[in-house]
Structure 1
């Protein structure tokens, strides 16, 4: 059991104790321990048991609970509270905007014990009868419930990638030598996955017989050559049956989005499908270059393929450095040196350290004195680690009026500035645009961070005019971040084509708060591929010398240096 799992258990226990009206001091002690554990640089499972009790923020009861989890993989106290809590209340805890105290009030006073009951109560204005609840609260709860329900049983690609790939390998072993492949949105590396699809060159009867024997599979419906399965009571699996001879054609037809297939047929490609021995042959017959599955969305890839000018898509290995990372100076898990050494060992040429700015008090943001102290450490590490380089940066909050978080004399000390919105996210488009445009026009803004503030399947971003923002970034030579965290992937890939058209650089950045976070570059790269990004369009594909030259030239153009 790793630190995150232990911290999650403590956080859940604290909330359940609050819901049940237990001693608030004891509940807070578990919440505090969860916060402490998330920030630990070392894994508790690798820490001697007696040393666990010496960690600041870990008391006797929390220490014993940690040892119990490490030794037994169980947590009896948490199990007890889960058993005495209705399952529907546990689900309601997932709704944003409802803390333990409000949930307890809803449960005890309205006798609501499920999500459906809560939504009905909102529709009947029953929350307005409760102390501490007003119209705005009720409206917010209703909106958040509807958002949650609409996204239930949907997954980030990163959450299902391993499952899909492992199942594909398993099915290939079962049906060998018949061909098997993932298909549909999963094969296109879609950002959100509703179902994992497989094409299998076997009869529907054979597929149903074989999959029914596999652990975790339960048939939910079947029609003609398709079947729908529940896997591990969590994932929706769809299987398509075909003959071996028809496999290439069916793989082509089931992979492409509807818009892609329509455009392909409209371009006269439908005659090229039947009887083809491979997807490559289908494109060749249609007088097109081969279109990778990730691009088959029906945007402009058909025209590019006919003109033989498809982009050479960026690959994970094209990323030369880590741009946008956090250390223990703000809210990262590792020291600056540990982050830099790890990046160097993984073959990267540089690290852009961009801890949070002073207004981000919740993330231990850096005031001016701490900025200068960190920059002094950067100088020391650069002298020791050359030719690897740490670039001095900051993730500056974009304040309510659109200004950045420091005066110009502090902003001038950074090699580059990432400007992001972190607070007051509930904005109208007019407010959001005014705030973002002012930040983009600030000469010190080098990169616009996670443009909409969205958290996929958790929070809609604030509304923006994407075209206007991209146009402004083009006019002000501001790079747009493609935040590679699987829950952000912001800017959305569908707008990358327009950014390319306007010659705006993209930067695939992991927003890494730990060494492990570097690996998110992979998912950012997959999203960038869907938008047609090449390594020349991407700032984090610049070598250390190229990035340094770019930043200096930009500062000269902005009259920030002579």
Structure 2
């Protein structure tokens, strides 16, 4: 049972409790548990198997530790099954809709008998929701829109969740001596933010042994197909995994073929055809003679191209750039000098200032920024001017003691509906950096939302626009905003936009990162860490930058401390 599955169970328990009207503190405790599990750098299943004390994890007490252990060992979460007997378990699905909170869901269940998304769609299409007090025709219409969007994205898995699955699976397969090479291909290798399924490619002379080991993995719930060189299985998490076995001499051709994208592959095959060649998953052929295929580089060389990074293989200019010698020198995680967005236990983080700094030191960062929430976010215990000034003093004192890392004084300050920032300019002037974000009124029109941000950017204390579209992958759509206008204004004002690396956000998406690069606006890849474990999410944000063709020079936090400070001083 992977961490993502454990977290989902706790989220479901919290959803049902909230719909039931349970104590808010109890609900919050389970939501916090889900967040801790999601962010854990170690599989909790392994910790349980090795007899480790889960209560030693910060934020997990003895009661939660016991529940996690029982869930891992039995598949049952104490308390959840009892709730599911008292109320329809599918009600938790309704919590995924922005238009519905626990009270509205309870009203729909009690007055219209709605217990699932399917039933909700039926009563909405019948025009019954608008007749309920507190709903109306507009809410009914928006509910139908959201249901439609949910069905479009339900079958896709977030990249970070796929990583949790594929890492142990590849390690399990790689223990087989008969395997000489193994790679994960498909959209996973292109680092798309979600994957429909997983494609694993193996080089082996003994495909039968590989097939047997793959289909007998403990996580396999169903073997959909199994042949001599290919198999498809569904894991207990419902994720589909396809395995292909090829000879070592064909591995490069197969890796290129199964990495995709389809449009990229079609374009490469067309180029090959123009040169009298044929490319497929087994190699490059001139007539019946196989002339290349052991490595991807060989495949590209046959069409007179250099190797193209997987993140760029979308047939969106990468082939022309490769032909003309214009491929970017994509940013690497090792280029990142610091993390500019993180939270401590002063607001809604789980670790202290000192613990976050020590974790960043272990990563070798030159600097970090502490950016706790501002006062508007009361649920996160946001800082007012007095508490922020105390944190400023604490950071100054800490910097006097540190020699190998600089802690920047910052805040994640809310952008209010009128475009003002949530704290007075006098206290913002005392900071090194501000990450300015929207956390409320997501329903504003595109014009209103855009003007809101533009007014905020007029404030010279504005440095970085945090998670610029507000989306939560597979959960909440982006709010309406004209990002082209925002990026143009950022270029004029010397502001930056964040590439938020939180697995549920990955905001900005790759194509927007490309717009930043083209406009000459610096991006800031940051983790928005709420615990020390979250600092390891940096690679996910770097992947978004790479999908946007970004080089080291296109990012703010690849700069030296001195360079960074110069840019921040708008």
- CA distance, structure 2, for counterparts of residue 471 and residue 67 of structure 1: 49
Could you say which residue in structure 1 is the equivalent of 2:119? 117
Could you say which residue in structure 1 is the equivalent of 2:254? 250
Q: Compute the displacement of 1:518 (Å).
A: 0.7
- Structure-to-structure mapping, 1:283-432, within 5 angstroms: 283-432=300-449
Pairing partner for 1:468 from 477, 485, 488: 485
Q: Compute the displacement of 1:219 (Å).
A: 3.3
Match status 1:192 vs 2:194: yes
- Structure 1 residues 282-291 or 224-233, which shifts more? 224-233
Could you say which residue in structure 1 is the equivalent of 2:16? 16
Cα deviation digits, residues 380-413 of structure 1 (max 9, x gap) = 1111113421111111211212222233323222
Secondary structure of the residue aligned to 2:379 is: helix
- CA distance, structure 2, for counterparts of residue 342 and residue 320 of structure 1: 14
- Structure-to-structure mapping, 1:147-166, within 5 angstroms: 147-166=149-168
- Structure 1 residues 376-385 or 326-335, which shifts more? 326-335
Could you say which residue in structure 1 is the equivalent of 2:523? 506
Could you say which residue in structure 1 is the equivalent of 2:84? 82
- CA distance, structure 2, for counterparts of residue 532 and residue 359 of structure 1: 36
Q: Compute the displacement of 1:211 (Å).
A: 4.3
Change beyond 3 A, Cα 1:465–1:227? farther
Pairing partner for 1:30 from 8, 26, 30: 26
- CA distance, structure 1, for counterparts of residue 25 and residue 458 of structure 2: 45
Cα deviation digits, residues 447-476 of structure 1 (max 9, x gap) = 121111111111111233333322221121
- Structure 1 residues 234-243 or 427-436, which shifts more? 234-243
Could you say which residue in structure 2 is the equivalent of 1:449? 466
Match status 1:238 vs 2:255: no
- Structure 1 residues 291-300 or 228-237, which shifts more? 228-237
Q: Compute the displacement of 1:284 (Å).
A: 2.0
CA contact (8 A) 2:419 2:452 kept: yes
Cα deviation digits, residues 253-281 of structure 1 (max 9, x gap) = 22121222233345557737413132111
Secondary structure of the residue aligned to 1:324 is: coil
- CA distance, structure 2, for counterparts of residue 519 and residue 249 of structure 1: 32
- CA distance, structure 1, for counterparts of residue 96 and residue 426 of structure 2: 43
Change beyond 3 A, Cα 1:153–1:10? closer
- CA distance, structure 1, for counterparts of residue 222 and residue 95 of structure 2: 29
Consecutive unaligned residues of structure 1, counting only runs of 5 or more, are none
TM-score (norm 1): 0.84
- Structure-to-structure mapping, 1:59-74, within 5 angstroms: 65-66=63-64, 68-69=66-67, 72=70
Change beyond 3 A, Cα 1:6–1:335? farther
Pairing partner for 1:126 from 109, 125, 128: 128
TM-score (norm 2): 0.83
Secondary structure of the residue aligned to 2:327 is: coil
CA contact (8 A) 2:523 2:556 kept: yes
CA contact (8 A) 2:333 2:538 kept: yes
Cα deviation digits, residues 172-230 of structure 1 (max 9, x gap) = 55582465432211121111111111334579988766644444152336899865432
- Structure 1 residues 159-168 or 175-184, which shifts more? 175-184
Could you say which residue in structure 1 is the equivalent of 2:105? 103
Pairing partner for 1:528 from 545, 556, 559: 545
Q: Compute the displacement of 1:303 (Å).
A: 2.1
- Structure 1 residues 211-220 or 70-79, which shifts more? 70-79
Could you say which residue in structure 2 is the equivalent of 1:537? 554
Change beyond 3 A, Cα 1:349–1:257? same
- CA distance, structure 2, for counterparts of residue 424 and residue 240 of structure 1: 48
- Structure 1 residues 507-516 or 104-113, which shifts more? 104-113
The aligned length equals: 536
Match status 1:488 vs 2:505: yes
- Structure 1 residues 82-91 or 372-381, which shifts more? 82-91
Secondary structure of the residue aligned to 1:325 is: coil
- CA distance, structure 1, for counterparts of residue 236 and residue 55 of structure 2: 34
CA contact (8 A) 2:366 2:406 kept: yes
Q: Compute the displacement of 1:369 (Å).
A: 1.9
- CA distance, structure 1, for counterparts of residue 7 and residue 246 of structure 2: 47
Q: Compute the displacement of 1:519 (Å).
A: 0.9
Could you say which residue in structure 2 is the equivalent of 1:478? 495
Q: Compute the displacement of 1:251 (Å).
A: 2.2
Q: Compute the displacement of 1:426 (Å).
A: 1.3
Change beyond 3 A, Cα 1:3–1:66? farther
Q: Compute the displacement of 1:34 (Å).
A: 4.3
Match status 1:261 vs 2:265: yes
